[in-house]
Structure 1
Amino acid sequence: MSQPQASIPTQPRAKQLRACLLCSIVQTPADFRKHGCPNCEEIMQMKGYPDRISVCTTTYFEGMIAMIDPEHSWVARWQRTAKYVRGMYAVRVRGRVPDDVEAELESRGIKYRPRDQTDMD
């Protein structure tokens, strides 16, 4: 059985890349529009909504990690991406999820941790 994965961005489109504010996966705006976020689409609801993509993703991120085997990677555990799909992830993401997403996470009993590493424990 193959593992789900996100599309891997190609080099010519690197300047257009965006990172999800919730899971930090890096994709092009077209990939977010076509497929949504492969990790948190149920909460973020970006698929087909360019306005939603612009508030739920950012171009302000640092570094990228190619996550090939998230379940067995110490880097994935350190980045809190071990339960996410294979793909490219930002090391740090600047920005916060919209208020409605934060409220949805709270209603599900999930503690929101910004991906900019200001909330390290």
Structure 2
Amino acid sequence: MAAIPPQARSKQLRACLLCSIIQHPMDFRKNGCPNCEELMQMKGSPDRISVCTTTYFDGIIAVIDAEASWVARWQRTSKYVRGMYAVRVKGRIPEDVEAELESRGIKYRPRDQSDQD
């Protein structure tokens, strides 16, 4: 389970470019991304955190019961851990992560809402 950051308005918070979870950089460094650490490999790596997360995001939703939440389904976060998520994230995942997703047969969908269904 991801920790809910105490200062939701803090400019220090970062959103994962792949799943859009919002955490403090120290949480990414200490624990990695609770949803996609296997792909993003941020745990213990400030350089990786800087390229796999962003401070440029819009809106915040709190996901408590992801599977029962229509908002979580709409945001494509219903399979993720509970926590705070950005509504829209600006930026793209690194090319190596995108290539890894592709090799697993997963289509990368940016979280900037540019590919609305």
Corresponding position of 2:70: 74
- 1:44-65 CA-to-partner distances (Å, cap 9, x unmatched) read 0000000000000000000100
Residue 14, structure 1, aligned to residue 10, structure 2: yes
Distance 1:29 1:78 in 2: 26
1:51 aligns with 2:64: no
> Residues 18-53 of structure 1: CA distance to partner in whole angstroms, max 9, x if unpaired?
000000000000000000000000000000000000
> What does 1:59-98 correspond to in 2, within 5 Å?
59-98=55-94
Match of 1:33?
A: 29
TM-score (norm 2): 0.98
SS at match of 1:11: coil
Change (3 A) 1:36 1:113: same
Please point out which of 103, 106, 111 is paired with 1:107. 103
Richer in helix (by share): 1
Moved over 3 A (4+): none
* CA–CA separation in structure 2 for the residues paired with 1:87 and 1:64: 10
Which ranges in structure 2 are unaligned for 5 or more consecutive residues?
none
Q: What is the Cα-based RMSD across aligned positions, in Å?
A: 1.0
C-alpha contact 1:102 1:112 (8 A) present in aligned 2: yes
